[in-house]
């Protein structure tokens, strides 16, 4: 049986560092199914939009709020993710949104230093009780612009954010102070590895200057008790139904049969 729970050591690391990596959370067959489907998904390509960094280089992403029955949603509804998220959030979680990040070779832009709660706060979430799970679809390295985090920076609390290029970035004075006090970690991942991180963790990524793409699927969750107090472009609480452990491979078998 595939584990759906963090170990005590992993939970302690999440509380201390603001993140934890689970290696091989999804296996090679599951990731090949996702990669092959996503690369040929014209609907995904059509929904993707660009966000320029401070230099004008752009990264594309496609974002959706509803977790349905499509292949992407089978990952966001997997108990391997949802059970772990509920551990760190201390209770029931629901799907906040998911997004596919498309950082293409040689042209994929940077993401500026930010906290997710830096702007989710404005969506009516009173508390930073949100968690994201970033699944590496491609191998993520320094060369192709892997995520960078400041270890333990979630303890700073929410920092004011403003526009940086077409992105929303954290106040640079606070970022500089954080850089002087917290270890910078390059989150290098193999396909199927998954990074779970706190909504107040400072993170960024460099431009992709390599010949290899870096795609990632990021599934974001809010605690039920943190249900937004006002309407926004992100959803209020709706129960999230988990799928079976075999759901992704079952989908692949059905697709191979043409159903």
pLDDT tens for 153-166 read 999 999 999 877 66
Average pLDDT over residues 108-123: 87
Per-residue pLDDT at 185: 98
pLDDT category at 108 given cuts 50, 70, 90 is low
Per-residue pLDDT at 106: 80
Q: And the tokens for 121?
A: 């706060």
pLDDT tens for 38-73 read 999 999 999 988 877 767 677 888 999 999 999 999
- In order, the DSSP letters of the chain are ----S--HHHHHHHHHHSEEEETTSS-HHHHHHHHHHHHT-HHHHHH-EEEE-TTS-EEEEEEES---SSHHHHHHT-HHHHHHHHHHHTS-EEEEEEEEEEE-TTTBPPEEEE-THHHHGGGT--S--EEEEEEESS-B-TTTT-EEEETTGGGG----EEEETTEEEE-HHHHHHHHHHS-EEEE-B-TT-EEEEETT--EEE----SSS-EEEEEEEEEEGGG--SS--SS----------TTHHHHHHHHHHTT-
Terminal CA-to-CA distance of the chain, rounded, Å?
27
Per-residue pLDDT at 60: 86
- Asked if pLDDT for residue 22 goes beyond 90, the answer is yes
Give bridge partners of residue 52 from the DSSP assignment.
58
- Asked if pLDDT for residue 25 goes beyond 80, the answer is yes
* Alpha carbons 172 and 74: distance in angstroms, whole number: 37
Percent of the chain residues past pLDDT 90, beyond the cut? 81
119/29: higher pLDDT: 29
pLDDT tens for 174-219 read 999 999 999 999 999 999 999 999 999 999 999 888 999 999 999 9
Percent of the chain residues past pLDDT 70, beyond the cut? 96
Whole-model pTM: value is 0.95
Question: Do residues 224 and 125 touch, judged by C-beta distance below 8 A?
Answer: no
- Asked if pLDDT for residue 109 goes beyond 70, the answer is no
With tokens 């702007």, the residue in question is: 119
pLDDT category at 1 given cuts 50, 70, 90 is low
pLDDT category at 243 given cuts 50, 70, 90 is very high
The domains located in the chain, with CATH, are 8-254 (2.60.120.620)
* Alpha carbons 219 and 74: distance in angstroms, whole number: 11
């Amino acid at each position: 049986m595939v584990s759906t729970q963090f170990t005590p050591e992993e939970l302690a690391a999440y509380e201390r560092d603001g993140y934890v990596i689970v290696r091989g959370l999804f296996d090679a067959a599951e990731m090949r199914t996702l990669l092959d489907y996503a690369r040929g998904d014209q609907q995904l390509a059509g929904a993707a939009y660009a966000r320029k960094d401070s230099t004008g280089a752009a990264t594309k992403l496609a974002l959706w709020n509803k977790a349905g029955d499509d292949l992407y949603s089978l990952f966001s509804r997997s108990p391997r993710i949802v059970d772990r998220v509920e551990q760190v959030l201390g209770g029931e979680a629901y799907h906040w949104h998911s997004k596919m990040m498309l950082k293409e070779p040689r042209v994929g832009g940077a993401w500026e230093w930010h906290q997710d709660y830096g702007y989710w706060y404005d969506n009516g979430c009173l508390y930073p009780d949100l968690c994201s799970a970033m699944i590496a679809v491609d191998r993520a390295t320094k060369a192709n612009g892997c995520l960078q985090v400041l270890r333990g920076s979630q303890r700073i609390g929410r920092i004011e954010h403003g526009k940086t290029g077409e992105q929303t970035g954290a106040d640079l004075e606070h970022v500089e102070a954080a850089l002087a006090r917290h270890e910078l970690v390059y989150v290098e991942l193999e396909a199927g590895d998954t990074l779970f991180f706190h909504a107040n963790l400072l993170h960024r990524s460099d431009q992709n200057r390599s010949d290899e793409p870096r795609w990632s699927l990021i599934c974001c969750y809010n605690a039920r008790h943190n249900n937004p107090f006002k309407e926004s472009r992100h959803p209020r609480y709706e129960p999230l139904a988990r799928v079976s452990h075999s759901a992704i491979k079952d989908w692949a078998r059905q697709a191979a049969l043409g159903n």
